[in-house]
């Protein structure tokens, strides 16, 4: 999703990206990865459809992001 006017990635792909950035942040403790995960999540929130199956993956990604240590 990012900052483009045209949607280029599928919703679930971005959820997987959030999980990946959180995982890399946990390994490296580099805040840039955590910030990228947060920005990606913020850009996805307005597009979340409660009835879409892809929201399951987004929910998992958000849980990982919100419980990052």
Higher pLDDT, 69 or 44: 44
Tokens standing for 34? 């955590």
pTM of the model: 0.82
Q: How many CA atoms lie within 13 A of 3 on its CB side?
A: 2
**Residue 18: CB partners within 8 Å, gap ≥ 6?**
37, 40, 41, 44, 58, 61, 62, 64, 65
pLDDT in tens, 5-39: 555 668 889 999 999 999 999 999 999 999 999 99
Confidence at 3, pLDDT banded by 50, 70, 90 = low
Q: What is the mean pLDDT of residues 25-54?
A: 92
Q: How far apart are CA 18 and CA 14, in angstroms?
A: 6
| Predicted local confidence at residue 53, as pLDDT | 84
The secondary structure element, H or E, covering residue 11 is helix 11-28
């Amino acid at each position: 999703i990012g900052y483009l006017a045209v949607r280029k990635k599928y919703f679930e792909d971005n959820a997987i990206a959030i999980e990946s950035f959180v995982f890399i942040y946990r390994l490296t403790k580099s805040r840039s990865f955590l910030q990228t995960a947060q920005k990606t999540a913020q850009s996805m929130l307005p597009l979340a459809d409660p009835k879409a199956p892809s929201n399951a993956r987004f929910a998992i990604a958000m849980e990982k992001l919100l419980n990052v240590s």
